[in-house]
Every structure is written in structure tokens, then in C-alpha cells.
């Protein structure tokens, strides 16, 4: 394995870092169940990756088992206990635990612990996941009910496919 081809060609480095202090408010709230911080999006990383902080209330929540065709997804638990599905079994993941899911890998997550939990979610490459998260938030806030076909179409637009 070698380094990828260069992407920066100037003779000197640039002041181009992006800082997000700890007290920054979440970028998105999905009902009462989740708050999401857009730490680094595909748009801000040149589509290299997307990194999100996912804070979950003490309410069971999370997607059903699914997979992605174009992106990998990784989970790093910061606080609490998060149930992570690795395609074969549910794991009670606690702070410091990590799960990597390659493209095509079946996975899911939920907070079934009865206490708040928080994790980092990393997508690579940096797909525009914010549109998916924002569409979910709109559905929850509006109370709109989708048919199974509408859910399937929404998921397909965002490279998410039901594994069941």
C-alpha cells in the first residue's frame, strides 16, 4: 500500500484548518431522539469523508439493519452504551469501542440502554449524508407517514438498502 496521489501542489502549506469548539450547538435535531453535529461533511473535506457526532436520548432509536453500496461506515462510542449490529449479532458497545463496516456490510445501531449515549459516525468517502439526516428530521417533525415504497425510495436516494 502506498500514499494516494498528491492533492495539494503549492510549495508551502496553507492555513486551512477548520475548528469546532466543544460547546457548538448540534446542527440538526431529529425529533426528541437524536442530535447530530456535522463535524466534517463530504463538502468540507473534498468528499474524502464525513464525520458526525450522534447524541441519542434515553429512548430506543436507530435504523433497522441495512447496508450501503458506495460508502463504509464506522462507529466510535463516546458515552453510554450503544447497541451495534455487525451483521451477525448485536453488541453492547461502550466508550472506546469501535466498529468498521465496509461497503455492503450489514449493520444497525440503537440506544436501548435507557440512558443517553453518544458516538462518532464516520462515512468514507464523504457522501452527502446531511440531506438524508435532514429528510429524516423533516419527516419526524411534520408527522408525515411514508408508505413502505416511499421509505424504499428515500433510502435508495441516499445509498441505504434494507437488509431484511
- Digit-coded pLDDT (tens) for 103-129: 999 999 999 999 999 999 999 999 999
| Per-residue pLDDT at 103 | 98
pLDDT of the residue at 25? 96
Residue 161: what pLDDT? 96
DSSP label at residue 120: E
CB atoms within 10 A of CB 42: 20
What is the predicted pLDDT for the residue at 62?
87
Question: What pLDDT does 50 receive?
Answer: 97
Q: Per-domain residue ranges for the chain?
A: 28-162
pLDDT recorded at residue 61: 86
Please identify every stretch of the chain with a pLDDT value under 70, giving residue numbers as ranges.
Answer: none
Assigned architecture for domain 28-162: Sandwich (2.60)
Q: Of the candidates 75, 129, 114, 125, which has an alpha carbon nearest to the alpha carbon of residue 97?
A: 75
Which residues are 56's β-sheet partners?
34, 117
Amino acid at each position: 500500500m502506498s500514499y494516494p496521489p498528491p492533492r495539494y501542489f503549492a510549495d508551502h502549506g496553507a492555513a486551512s484548518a477548520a475548528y469546532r469548539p466543544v460547546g457548538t450547538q448540534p446542527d440538526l435535531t431529529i425529533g426528541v431522539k437524536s442530535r447530530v453535529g456535522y463535524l466534517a461533511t463530504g463538502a468540507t473535506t473534498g468528499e474524502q469523508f464525513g464525520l458526525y457526532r450522534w447524541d441519542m436520548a434515553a429512548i430506543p432509536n436507530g435504523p433497522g439493519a441495512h447496508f450501503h453500496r458506495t460508502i463504509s461506515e464506522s462507529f466510535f462510542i463516546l458515552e453510554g452504551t450503544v447497541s451495534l449490529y455487525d451483521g451477525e449479532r448485536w453488541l453492547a458497545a461502550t466508550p472506546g469501542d469501535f466498529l468498521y463496516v465496509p461497503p455492503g456490510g450489514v449493520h444497525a445501531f440503537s440506544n436501548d440502554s435507557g440512558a443517553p449515549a453518544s458516538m462518532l459516525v464516520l462515512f468514507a468517502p464523504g457522501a452527502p449524508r446531511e440531506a438524508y439526516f435532514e429528510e429524516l428530521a423533516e419527516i419526524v417533525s411534520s408527522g408525515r407517514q411514508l408508505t413502505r415504497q416511499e421509505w424504499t425510495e428515500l433510502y435508495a436516494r441516499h445509498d441505504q438498502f434494507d437488509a431484511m
